[in-house]
Amino acid sequence: MLAGQGAPVRRAGRLVSVLLLASAVVLPGTAAAQSDPPAGASTNAVAQTIRNQVGGRLKDFYRTRGYWPLWIVDEKPGPQARALIDVIETVGVDGLDPDRYSPDRLRRLIDEAEGGNLRALAYLEVALSGTLADLIRDMRDPHIDIRYLEKSLEPTRDKPDAILRRVALAKSMLDYVRTLGWMSPLYMQLREALLIADPGVSGTADVDVPAGPLLKPGMSGERVMLLRTRLGLPEGDQYDAALATRVRRFQASRGLPVDGIAGGQTIAALNGGAAASGVDRRDLLRLNLERARLLPDAWTRHIVVDAAGARLWYYGGGAEQGTMRVVVGTPETQTPMMAGMVRYATLNPYWNVPVDLVRKRIAPKVLAGTSLERQGYEALSDWTNEAEVIRSSAIDWQGVAAGTVEPRVRELPGRGNSMGSVKFMFPNDLGIYLHDTPQKNLFARLDRHFSNGCVRLEDAGRLGRWLFGKTLKPESSKPEQHIPLMEPVPVYLMYFTASPANEGVRYVADPYGRDAPALQHLASS
């Protein structure tokens, strides 16, 4: 069973403390907590009380912000406090145990602080911050591997003060908590699909919706009420827009026709689970959720390439800022899973032709009488940076065709160059990069696995403008003009056989055959 599968079991009486150290705060009711200030004191007074109570590993965080609270609004717990508890109740889908974060205790602390008692407010403040820091560290902890090209990209277990400093930058604490702003938007969208698809994690799994006529928007009645309960919506008997959205997302998660109408297939899938629909994609959702866990939040400027679905997204400022189609590697020349830093762009690029393509495509034409130069290529003496251009007549082309000679051949810059007008470089020993292409017709295809491992961009100019803040233009016709990126941008080459779509989740084939071994690894870990 994969992490997060099935309903999390709540163990009565096991309330694990969310406080970071016993000395972190002064507990209400102790000698030091006597003579509490009256209720209704100002937020300044709350900050002063936090200052007197906070300790341990949260002390530095609160000192740098003048002990100003994250969770207290207008002298009482803000809505973000209960929003955090709502999130905690669903962390089974993330492979975590809700009891670790003591939601029952947090509810009690919120109730105690509702009256405005300063000590209770300060105690709640520190408890919530400690819990959130632990939750973020646990949720961001990866369970699968990817190759990191740079040390700075490798995941770390950040200290609570570092985590909370980033949290404090959020424009809305409530929105940040509700949307899990510390995770990638791709993670959040897959997580929501799994919450809907996995009985016992979202909604009420033991509620059956009786068979009957189609249920659709605008209808009401007992069956609608049960449908709402099953999908985890507030009580009511109206088939409103919220219910239609949940139904569509459930349908998408199970591979059913997505129409927002609860017909026989949808009701059977809800009542009987995977066997009723004939399609169980929950394990696939969990696997891709684990892949998405590797990604940074949307406040981190970065690029994501999905080699399974042949798509690219780029993020910054807390949101997705663009997407485009890409062409990626064939099953024989796969685009790898790895993460690097885009450090510069190269205008008017050469293309170093892979030796197998030189043997298959170029050598026969040379032997048939079409010179290397007429084909738009040139030969070099070796594969080093100091290589010199050599005459093509110096090469044994019969040996090249036979596979016994492997010369270095590169395509010259120009309109027909396979690299197009620009390539974006993130140094790696596999020769993988993002680049333009003249073969725009390939982007209209559903299956876009045609490259030798590199990533061809549908709109390289748009990505260049996003990266550099300007349109990239060469100064002359000179080949290989390098433009450094002042602040390098992370790029993640990923593999999503389930990814977010307009109506929930888009499932694609597993072109590289990676899912089965990855699922086996997760199940055994």
Q: Which residues are catalytic?
A: 435, 454
In whole angstroms, what is the distance from residue 489 CA to residue 508 CA?
28
H helices of 381-503, in order, are 397-402, 460-468
List Cβ neighbours of 10 (8 Å cut-off, separation of 6 or more): 98, 99
C-beta of residue 296 within 8 angstroms of C-beta of residue 184: yes
Name which of 102, 135, 90 is nearest 15 in CA terms.
102
Q: Name the packing angle between helices 264-272 and 241-254 (round to 10°).
A: 70
The arrangement of strands across the sheet holding 389-390 comes to 351-352, 408-411, 377-380, 389-390
Q: Detail the DSSP E strand segments found in 274-394.
A: 302-306, 311-316, 319-329, 338-347, 351-352, 377-380, 389-390
In whole angstroms, what is the distance from residue 350 CA to residue 482 CA?
12
C-beta of residue 364 within 8 angstroms of C-beta of residue 358: no
In whole angstroms, what is the distance from residue 284 CA to residue 496 CA?
10
Q: Please, what sign has the CA dihedral across residues 334, 337, 338, 341?
A: positive
Task: Record the tokens describing residue 24, joined without a space.
Answer: 């972190």
In the three-class reduction of DSSP (H, G, I as helix; E, B as strand; rest coil), residue 514 is classed as coil
In whole angstroms, what is the distance from residue 231 CA to residue 235 CA?
11
The DSSP letter of residue 422 is: E
Q: Please, what sign has the CA dihedral across residues 338, 342, 345, 346?
A: negative
Which residues are registered as beta bridge partners of 340? 491
> What is the total residue count of the chain?
525
The DSSP letter of residue 130 is: H
List Cβ neighbours of 106 (8 Å cut-off, separation of 6 or more): 18, 81, 84, 85, 88, 127, 128, 131
In whole angstroms, what is the distance from residue 251 CA to residue 216 CA?
14
Query: Would strands 319-329 and 449-451 be described as parallel, antiparallel, or unpaired?
Result: parallel
Looking at this protein, which amino acid is placed at residue 328?
V
In whole angstroms, what is the distance from residue 246 CA to residue 235 CA?
14
In the three-class reduction of DSSP (H, G, I as helix; E, B as strand; rest coil), residue 505 is classed as strand
In whole angstroms, what is the distance from residue 521 CA to residue 525 CA?
6
Which H helix or E strand runs over 95?
A: none
C-beta of residue 108 within 8 angstroms of C-beta of residue 144: no
